[in-house]
Structure formats: C-alpha cells, structure tokens
Amino acid sequence: MKFIVSSSYLQKQLQILGGVINNNNTLPILDNFLFELDNSTLVVSASDLETTMSATLTVDSDATGSVAIPARLLLDTLKTFPEQPLTFIVGDNNTVEISSNHGKYALAYANGEEFPKPITLEAPSITKFTGDILATAISKTIFAAGNDDLRPVMSGVFFQFSTESLIFVATDAHKLVKYERTDLAASQTAEFIMPKKPLNLLKGILAGSEEEVLMEYNESNARFTFDNIDLVCRLIDGKYPNYEAVIPKENPNQLTIARNQFLNSVKRVSIFSNKTTHQIRLKIAGSELNISAEDIDYSNKAEERLTCDYQGDDMQIGFNSRFLTEMLNNLDADDVSLEMSLPNRAGILTPIDGLDEGEKVTMLVMPVMLNN
C-alpha cells in the first residue's frame, strides 16, 4: 500500500480530526488515525467511540488497504514540514515509512481492522442548513450548558425541530439560553440532545462557512456531512426538562441599556464582589441603574451609577455576575433589554438589535438572594 500526498493538505485535515481523540483512551486503537485507501481516495477517521469523524482526501495512488497510524506522532511530525509531497509506504515489517524531501521516518502501525466501525443511521430524518447558521446556534447556546455528570441531559444542547422553526436550548439550572430560527424549518418534528464535544468540533470548523450542512438524525444518533467531512455522534439519552415552564411570562419591569456600558460596569463592580457568590446588586429607580457589590470579609465594595431607559416599579435584584457577564459577552447587540417581575424570579435578557431576519435569542438568568 503506497500513496503520495501534500504535507500541508494532510496536516490541515488531520488537525481537524485530532479534536476527536481523547488524551486517555480506554482502547489503545483509539490513539490512532484510521487510513483507508481506495486508489486515489483516502478516507482518514478518528473516533472516541461516542463520536467518529472522517475526512475524504484525494491522493496519488492506485493501491487499496487500511492501517491505523499513531495520531500524536504523525501530527507532531507533519507540523514540522514545509509544504512538500510526502510518500507513505506500508511495509511488511509492521511500519509505515514516510519519505520527504529530506529524509525517511518509520512509524509502527496497527491493524486497520481493529478500528471501531462507524455507526450507520437507520431511517434518519434530514434537515439542511448553512454551516455558519449551525455554528452560530451552537456558540449562542453551548456556554450555558451544564457540566454536571449526574444530570447528563443538561450537559448538552437540546435541538427542538418543527415544521415552523428550529430551536436550540441550553441550561445548567442557573442560566438558560433559547436560540430560535423561524426562517428555517425541518420536514418533521424532532427533539434530541446533542453532546458538547461534537458541537464544539462543528462550531470550530463551520464558523463563517457558507457550505450546506446535511444533518441526519434518529432516536439515538446524529450525522453531519459537509465539504469532505463526515461526523457521526451518539446523542444523550434522556428527556430534556420542560424549559418553557421556567421562563416567566409576565415581566412588567423592563430595563433597556447599552450592552457594552452594562457589561463593563458589571465586570468592574464584580471585582469587588464576594469570591464565592460573585453577587452583584442592581437597584433600579426611575432612569437610574445602580450596580453595587460588597465583600464583607475583606471590606471591599464598589458602586456605579448608569443612566438607562426603565419602565416599571423601583426594584432591587441580585445576580451572579459571572452568569451576567457570560451572557452579555455572548450577545452582539448594541442595546439589550432586561425584563424582570420580582426579585426572586428570573430575569430575561434579550438583544434589541444585531439579529438577522428570523433570528431570536432569549437568555434567562436566575437571581441570587440579597442579604440586606
């Protein structure tokens, strides 16, 4: 088995696939890339059993065969080469020999047959969208997903597809983000929970991409196909909590403020907040917003006054500044609206501008109890 391939072309593709490989795999074979050659078509795959990603490359060859090559060693070697053709020859003595313009390198390989077979999806549903739209939906929601191993359903992003819209939701019980696209729809209703790892991989590859992504999914697995990449992953099993129930419907108190001004103020004031609760206090009266924080243990305190547009009763409400900062950082709007009902009910943060046609973002942040 022999093939010739451009070093930078191969490195670029393997760099993408490398994100799938875990640092400590239970099966040694998963530390390898699987190379499957069929004449001039080379399919390289990486897997962690839950997620498998493959890339299809064009190489110069008329051979067929499959081998598993150590991923870390191969990537580290490829990074050091300037652009040049590399010749891979799979020898009989259990090594792959790579020849460059300057020398030869031999790597021990494993049998390609040992590599886990990718999952085939039985009778999947299909939805198509532009790569950048999927990347945006992921980056707008994934930061709000939980990290609790005891509640795996909340550690992923909930995809809720219908014939009218596509909805993506993530929550960790302290904050919640709902991202909605009414300009896109699925052929039929479906609900499933995507794990974080494949979503982060997709986000990295698809940001800014105009490519069409074909998404296929059934009860237990999802598959994404675009460009020369194919990604299959197992879905998180379980029922997602009824997130609609926690979004307060009646919110008479509405605050409108410049996002950057609000964000910078929260960041500054929070430096003086308690290091365990990160609590900041918003006190709103008339058109004045007072943001304050205090760390009683160290006698640190800070207070800032901002002007804002406010309709509603005077009120005081406490938030965890880290959640508020994360949410404000994740919005692209110039102005944002914070809707509230009572100091013990969640606040709803929404962007006022900066959205595409048919795009809607709702962020929910749970308050913290103020100790007066």
Whole-number pLDDT of residue 372: 64
For 17-21, 22-26, 43-47, 259-263, which range has the lowest pLDDT when averaged over its residues? 22-26
Dist. CA 325–CA 222, nearest whole Å? 32
Res 370 pLDDT > 90: no
* Domain range 2-114, CATH class: alpha beta
Res 3 pLDDT > 90: yes
Q: Would you say 285 and 264 are in contact if contact means Cβ atoms under 8 Å apart?
A: no
Give per-residue pLDDT as tens, 138-179. 999 999 999 998 999 999 999 999 999 999 999 999 999 999
Same topology between domain 125-242 and domain 247-368? yes
Name the CATH topology of 125-242: DNA Polymerase III; Chain A, domain 2 (3.10.150)
Whole-number pLDDT of residue 277: 93
User: What band does 261 get if pLDDT is binned at 50, 70 and 90?
Assistant: very high
- Tell me how far the alpha carbon of residue 42 is from its chain's centroid: 28
Residues 6 or more apart whose CB falls under 8 angstroms from that of 340 comprise 251, 253, 254, 255, 312, 315, 317, 347, 348
The pTM score is 0.93
Task: Give the H or E element holding residue 237.
Answer: none
> Where in the chain are the domains?
2-114, 125-242, 247-368
**pLDDT average, residue stretch 79-106:** 94
Dist. CA 301–CA 285, nearest whole Å? 21
CA angle, corner 113, sides to 66 and 51, nearest 5? 95
Give per-residue pLDDT as tens, 36-51. 999 999 999 999 999 9
**pLDDT average, residue stretch 248-270:** 97
CATH node for 247-368: 3.10.150.10
For CA atoms 153, 203, 263, 294, the dihedral sign is positive
CA angle, corner 348, sides to 344 and 352, nearest 5? 155
Whole-number pLDDT of residue 149: 86
Res 194 pLDDT > 80: yes
